[in-house]
Amino acid sequence: MNWEQLLSLKRFGDTNKRIRKEQDETRLGFEVDYDRVIFSSEFRILQDKTQVIPLSQTDFVHTRLTHSLEVSVVGRSIGRKVGQKLLEKHPHLQTVHGYQVNDFGAIVAAASLAHDIGNPPFGHSGEKAIGEFFKTGDGSNFKKQLTDKEYQDLCDFEGNANGFKILTESRDGRDGGLRLSYATLGAFMKYPKESLPKKPTTHIADKKYGFFQSEKEAFSNIADELGLLKRGKTDASFSRHPLAFLVEAADDICYTIIDFEDGINLGLIQEEFALEYLINLVRDTINTKKYHQLKNTQDRVSYLRALAINTLINEVVTIFIDNEEAILTGEFQTALLDKSKYDAQINDIIKISVENVYKSEDVIDKEIAGYEIIKHLLSVYTSAINNNFNGKASNYDKLILNRLPKTMKLNDDSLYKRLLSVCNYVSLLSDSNAILNYKKIKGMHF
């Protein structure tokens, strides 16, 4: 892969390339990507979607929206630092093509901002709830009517693939989805493969999948434009865009450190653990006098969190630059932080967060409720849409259909696209709206 192609300013839906030297510096294309994501309705919904603590009413606990904003800030810093190093190493990118340090930061920031845009309500349990509806629930009845790959898309419903769908799917009046640059779409794609074969290798790009069968052609078009390398035997499996490693690292840093911080602020993790577990990340930068002047838990943990994030940002930049050649040839096979000298400390922090936060009674109870809500919504909506398509809609089905948005593919000849449209609609519900829809259908809300 080469950086000239990887930094493509061409927008999804364009017929011609865009030249970096011809860009308006006051309204740079990569920065427009960030704006389009942040003003989208799909992004705004994240303000009422679970990050770690489902349906939390606590002010300082993160939602998907605040998490995404924080990841974008970290991603921008990483991208700029990497960009500076790359332009020093490959000066022609600047002198010949006109790329600037901030271009790298803008691409990574925009992709980071969008990284959770496709996640369903109720956190990762929402993805699992949709998948299990098709694996073991009423949705399993559709298996024989779908191709293996179509059925796998539904059984392993993936927020990353749903996000790609949101960013690229055309609808009336909105050709090319949000029309982001190819560079940003490439950086967004952490898992540039289809749902089958499932985890064919241990390569990080094969961990999950990144697009549904409905967006396969769109992804292939982007991969060709960016010059992504084909991998494996399938016709739709590629090496990552190098900047996708930076987006992943920004997300890893934030959920590792900030979920830990949330756990301490909620009282789920003792404050003493903050110093014990973070000290090895901040030993070289901590001002102990300043630390001991801070009078409350939130301020002390906030200080340690800021230092820890800065340490890991610099670590990620070093690892990326040291492995740039392997990344460009598709030979780098792990997440960047897996190569970190702080790997043991990071794993210790994640372990205690899993035990004390992710598996806390409050989290588990509300995830159980999320399963029931999503299962029931999918059952009612898929039944109504398919009964209507087959000319067997009851009055109840028609009432349900009247509540669904006009953008849904209610009458598409493809069963797969009808089912995926339902999943996409449910995935775009906020936690509160999913609960409200459930209560209305159950006759519990008047």
Bond into 197 cis (ω within 30)? yes
Read off the pLDDT of residues 275-314 as tens digits, 9 standing for 90 and up. 788 888 998 899 989 988 998 888 988 999 999 999 999 9
Task: Round to whole Å and give the CA distance between 151 and 194.
Answer: 12
Task: Round to whole Å and give the CA distance between 415 and 432.
Answer: 29
Top mean pLDDT of 151-155, 200-204, 350-354 is at 151-155
Structural domain contains residue 373: no
Residue 7 belongs to domain spanning: 3-119+242-358
Read off the pLDDT of residues 305-345 as tens digits, 9 standing for 90 and up. 999 999 999 999 999 999 999 999 999 999 999 999 999 99
Read off the pLDDT of residues 218-228 as tens digits, 9 standing for 90 and up. 999 999 999 99
Structural domain contains residue 365: no
pTM, two decimals, is 0.94
Structural domain contains residue 170: no
Structural domain contains residue 402: no
Structural domain contains residue 138: no
Structural domain contains residue 176: no
Question: Quick check: 57 and 129 in contact, CB under 8 A?
Answer: no
Look up the CATH number of the domain holding residue 87.
Answer: 1.10.3210.10
How many domains are there within the chain? 1
Average pLDDT over the chain reads: 92
Mind giving me the DSSP string for 102-126? HHHHHHHHHHHHTTTTTPPSSTHHH
Structural domain contains residue 160: no
